[in-house]
Amino acid sequence: MYMRTIEIMVGAFMLAGVLALVFLAVEVSGVNIGTAPGTYTLHARFTDVSGLPGRAKVSLAGVTVGRISGVRVDVEYAEAVVTMEIEERYRFSTDTGAKILTEGILGGRYVALVPGADEEYLVEGDTIEDTQGAMIFEDLVGDMITSIGAD
């Protein structure tokens, strides 16, 4: 009887550990179970979205205000179109800008919104016009080497 109780307790402990790991994995990855209630869709066109993952955060002043729901290529204009799901409580003026930034030196990429001062607001399906693509480290190093070699 005593051995059976120990086996049940060890099994319960292992089950709790596995459930905790699954919970942490879901929280860290930013994956939402189901659809996010109270969001609206915005789009932004970028010339380069290198390294921007599919569920990256969208932030304003360091605060997460939404998530990226998709990235596609517009072949006609040779640009990447990023689709963002923004929480309803956050509203942005029509002259809002978007840029792709990196969290720290080696961190992941995300979209940062820079609010404007216009009195009209973006609504469901609107496109942010003022964008700045990702800064590519390799391009910066190549430019630096080229400029040093030219001197």
Overall average pLDDT of the 46-62 stretch: 81
Q: What is the pTM of this model?
A: 0.63
Q: Where are the domains of the chain?
A: 1-31, 39-141
Out of 8-12, 25-29, 32-36, give the one with best mean pLDDT: 8-12
Overall average pLDDT of the 126-135 stretch: 74
Lowest mean pLDDT among 74-78, 137-141, 143-147: 137-141
Strands of the chain (E only): list them.
39-46, 57-60, 63-74, 79-87, 97-102, 109-114, 127-128, 130-132
